Amino acid sequence: MTRWTDMTSAPRGADYASRFAKLEAEGAEVHGEARLCASLVPPGARVLDAGCGTGRVAQWLHRNGYECVGVDVDESMLAEARRAAPEIRWIKADLATLDLAEHVLDETFDLVVCPGNVIPLVAAGTEATVVATLAAALRPGGLLVAGFGLDAAHLPVDEPTVTLADYDAWCADAGLSLRERFATWDGDPYDDGGYAVSVHRR
């Protein structure tokens, strides 16, 4: 069980999708993650949305010319993603045990993105395995982009579960090097705050 699935047993997909749809209708910027990804790789690039939820990031990228695959452990989230964009491949899997070769003919990607506190919400003790799995999905030169909270104020759990030092070490063990780090998905410089967006290169 991941920390995400431990948080709730009730389906969340419809509520999650409607909340972001309402924000977008009110004029809020809800595509910062996708826009940052688009600034890092050109249209036509293959993107894996790891921990895709309702598929918001993958859908924006797909509409803008990217080839996307989404993976999530939550079936209620994936149901919303499939309803909104049936042309995208959506995979139900735990990132700790994901075998892309079972689902995707060409399982290498130009970019893997983990938005929405994915890394802190995987099952305790599987973080390094998840990072290694995602790194293995990258082509040489590919990018792993992950944004997550580092304190309780930026997480849906009571205590932080991941430090940047740990995350960087897992990435290094998986053959990735830090390219840049931001404080937000808008690309603001990182200032040692409670949220970080890290870009690592294979």
Domains annotated for the chain, with CATH where assigned, are 30-201 (3.40.50.150)
The answer to whether the CB of 21 falls within 8 A of the CB of 14 is no
What pLDDT does residue 144 have?
A: 98
As a whole number of angstroms, the distance between CA 60 and CA 31 comes to: 7
Sign of the CA dihedral with 168 first, then 176, 48, and 105 last: negative
What pLDDT does residue 128 have?
A: 97
Region class of 125: left (phi > 0), else alpha (psi between -120 and 50), else beta: left
* Tokens describing residue 77: 């989230």
What pLDDT does residue 24 have?
A: 54
Enter the DSSP assignment of 160.
Answer: -
Average pLDDT for runs of 10 along the chain of length 202 = 54 56 56 93 98 95 97 94 96 93 81 94 94 97 97 84 96 98 96 96 98
